[in-house]
Amino acid sequence: MKTIQFSNGDQLPMIGLGTWKSKPGEVYQAVLWAIEAGYRHIDCAAIYDNEKEVGNALEKAFKDGLVKREDMFITSKLWNSFHRLDDVGAGLKKTLKDLKLDYLDLYLIHWPISFKLGVGFAQKREDYYTYSDIPLSQTWQGMEQCQSAGLTRHIGVSNFNISKLKEIGRSCTVFPEMNQVEMHPFLPQEKLVNFCKEQNMLMTAYSPLGSGDRSTAVKKEDEPSLLGNQTVNEIAIKHSCSPCQVLIAFSIARGNAVIPKSVNKERIAENFAASEITLTEEDMHKLMNIGTSYRFVDGRFFTGPFSPYKMEDLWETE
């Protein structure tokens, strides 16, 4: 398995199993199938509401000798309602309990958005905190404390734009080591990728296949299809592989980790095999200039009429 390296030498397997949208009753077996297929990187989050089941699968894998804990790389994320300094550690400890682990390999601030403690998804103005109430620097201080306490080996963020990364950088002791964002040929994020490289910051691509299985409530009627795109399919035919594998190989070729989600045994193995595909410079040029620009996870559910947050708090404005 190809890896990318943190500054301290720790290795992150470039292909991980995503668990967002994996339903309880499915994710347990998916994690075991993934480990059997060779995955050593599992991406989780408290808000996915399936960490207990992931934890049960990891416990079985370790108990049965399928893999050792030290050979796995487990990522999870701090939900928006645990952004106060005093709550960050509690959020991580809850995740560790659910995953049945003593430590995480990587812990991320899931979104640069703050809810009040106990709120799952904010429905009214009173459910939100503002940046004046809880500056990102306060949440990041809590993340640094978790790392110092040995609860997580690495710390980073998810869905952070350059402005928010710079904001953390002005007061942090440890600069974020990872930024996990939506990335694929429709959204290559070149400006953000270049900034992160300048900061020696690793990146992980989520929704690399276009997240077609998202809830219809957060989908638009006219969404373009990554998997149905002509360029993607032509390159797949050229390499005798699937469109999914082309899209996964795209992220790997750019030096980024990638976390496709699946609960299907054959698809899990197929996704993992994408690391064997080497895209040419011509392939990458075509994919980087595919002619369609689209963000599937646009964050509008955090920026409604009752929210103190705006789209520019999430994404690059140019």
Instruction: Determine the pLDDT at residue 21.
Output: 83
**DSSP string covering 42-55, please?**
EE--GGGS-HHHHH
Q: Which residues of 85-98 are buried (b: 16+ CB within 10 A; e: fewer)?
A: eebbbebbeebbeb
Q: pLDDT at residue 215 above 70?
A: no
Mean pLDDT of 116-135: 96
pLDDT at 213: 63
Helix 51-63 to helix 85-99 angle, to the nearest 10 degrees? Answer: 50
Active site residue 39: no
Q: What is the DSSP letter of 296?
A: S
Task: State the pLDDT at residue 233.
Answer: 98
* 228 class by beta-carbon count within 10 Å (0-12 exposed, 13-18 middle, 19+ buried): exposed
What's the average model confidence in pLDDT over 259-288?
A: 97
| pLDDT confidence of residue 313 | 95
Cα–Cα distance, 19 to 17 (Å, whole number): 6
pLDDT at 201 over 80: yes
Mean pLDDT of the chain: 95
Q: What is the mean pLDDT of residues 33-51?
A: 97
Which of 52-56, 62-66, 116-120, 312-316 is the least confident region? 312-316
**Which pLDDT band, with edges at 50, 70 and 90, does 219 fall under?**
low
Task: From the candidates 48, 128, 206, 309, give the one annotated as an active-site residue.
Answer: 48
**Neighbouring-strand partners of residue 204:** 180, 257
Contact 136, 112 (CB under 8 A): yes
Check residue 22 and give its pLDDT. 86
Q: Return d(Cα 96, Cα 274) in angstroms, integer.
A: 30
| All domains in the chain, ordered by first residue | 3-313 (3.20.20.100)
Calculate ∠ Cα 40-41-43, nearest 5°.
150
| Predicted pLDDT of residue 273 | 98
Grade residue 66 by pLDDT with cuts at 50, 70 and 90: very high
**What's the mean pLDDT in 4-22?**
96
Give the per-residue pLDDT at 318.
52
DSSP string, 151-206: SEEEEEEES--HHHHHHHHTT-SS--SEEEEE-BTTB--HHHHHHHHHTT-EEEEE
Residue 220 has pLDDT above 80, yes or no: no
Residue 222's pLDDT is 82
Q: Would you state the pLDDT for residue 69?
A: 98
Q: Percentage helix, strand, coil, to 5, in the chain?
A: 40, 15, 45
Least Cα distance to 201 among 183, 170, 174, 171 occurs for 174
Res. 24 pLDDT band, cuts 50 70 90: confident
Residue 78's pLDDT is 98
Residue of higher predicted confidence among 318 and 100:
100
H or E, element range at 106: strand 104-109
Tell which residue, 244, 279, 241, has the closest CA to residue 258: 244
Q: How confident is the model at residue 211, as a pLDDT?
A: 72
Contact 187, 176 (CB under 8 A): no
pTM for the full predicted model = 0.96
Please check the confidence at residue 214 and state whether its pLDDT lies above 60.
Answer: no
pLDDT tens-digit map of 145-164: 999 999 999 999 999 999 99
Res 221 pLDDT > 80: no
